[in-house]
């Protein structure tokens, strides 16, 4: 029997759990560690639609950064845009200047404002 490819949202959750821990990933998406562990192990018995929506909402918010030519999480994009002008690195200064002129993030502006007020 062949194994089915992993759903994108589970891959996002697995990557976050590997980057941090299952407990930290669970806290980040607002679920319990056993629920996240069950999803990752394929043993979660409940409906996963709410967990899926939460994973995609928290971990899947990315844009295509024109400066780096790669996907960047909207929170990282915001940090680059809002940071003070970097003085210690020519590469960071170039990135910062590109962020100041960039409009790629604007499609997430409403989502971003909601996120800023929640903190």
Q: Which residue has the higher pLDDT, 70 or 113?
A: 70
In a domain? residue 1: no
Q: Which pLDDT belongs to residue 107?
A: 59
What is the rounded average pLDDT of the residues 88-102?
91
Which pTM does this prediction carry? 0.53
Q: Which residue has the higher pLDDT, 12 or 69?
A: 12
Residue 86 has pLDDT above 50, yes or no: yes
Instruction: Look at the chain and report how many structural domains it folds into.
Output: 2
The residue segments making up the domain with residue 28 are 8-59
Residues 41 and 88 in one domain: no
In a domain? residue 3: no
Residues 14 and 50 in one domain: yes
In a domain? residue 29: yes
Residues 113 and 67 in one domain: yes
Residues 81 and 45 in one domain: no
Do residues 61 and 28 make contact, with C-beta atoms less than 8 angstroms apart?
A: no
| Among 28, 38, 82, 100, CA closest to 60 | 28
Q: Which pLDDT belongs to residue 6?
A: 74
In a domain? residue 34: yes
pLDDT in tens, 12-48: 899 999 989 999 999 999 999 999 999 999 999 999 9
Residue after which a domain boundary falls, among 59, 74, 98? 59
Do residues 13 and 40 make contact, with C-beta atoms less than 8 angstroms apart?
A: yes
What is the rounded average pLDDT of the residues 81-87?
91
In a domain? residue 42: yes
Residue after which a domain boundary falls, among 59, 74, 94? 59
């Amino acid at each position: 029997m062949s194994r089915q490819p992993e759903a994108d949202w589970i891959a996002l959750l697995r990557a976050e759990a590997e980057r941090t821990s299952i407990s930290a990933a669970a806290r980040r998406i607002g679920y319990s560690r056993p629920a996240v562990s069950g999803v990752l192990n394929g043993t979660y018995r409940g409906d996963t639609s709410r967990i899926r929506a939460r994973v995609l909402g928290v971990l899947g918010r990315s844009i295509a950064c024109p400066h780096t030519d790669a996907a960047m999480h909207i929170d990282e994009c915001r940090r680059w845009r809002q940071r003070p002008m970097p003085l210690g690195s020519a590469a960071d200064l170039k990135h910062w200047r590109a962020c100041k002129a960039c409009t790629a993030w604007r499609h997430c502006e409403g989502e971003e404002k909601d996120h800023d007020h929640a903190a």
